[in-house]
Amino acid sequence: MGNIIVGAILLAVVCAIIFRLVKNKKTGKSSCGCGCSDCGSACNCHKD
């Protein structure tokens, strides 16, 4: 019974994290900080 409860809590946390990442992506927020001109994916983060 305890395993099911812990598993459900972990699943809820993972789902909340994924939901927040998707929401931030849709609103244009990025985890990339400023000054990442040397970053290989800078063109993906900072589209004009």
Give the pLDDT confidence of 1-48 residue by residue, as tens digits: 999 999 999 999 999 999 999 998 888 776 665 555 556 666 666 555
Whole domain around residue 19: which residue ranges?
1-25
Domain count within the chain: 1
CA–CA separation, 19 and 2 (whole Å): 26
Q: Say if 14 falls within a structural domain.
A: yes
31 within some domain: no
pLDDT single digits (tens) 37-48: 556 666 666 555
Q: Is residue 20 part of a domain?
A: yes
Six-digit token string for 40 = 């290989």
Mention every residue, 6+ apart, whose C-beta is less than 8 A from residue 32.
39, 41, 42, 45, 46
Other Cβ atoms closer than 10 A to 31: 8
Question: What's the pLDDT score for residue 34?
Answer: 56
Task: Output the pLDDT for position 48.
Answer: 53
How many angstroms separate the CA atoms of 17 and 39, rounded? 24
Tell me what pLDDT residue 4 has: 96
**What pLDDT is recorded for position 42?**
61
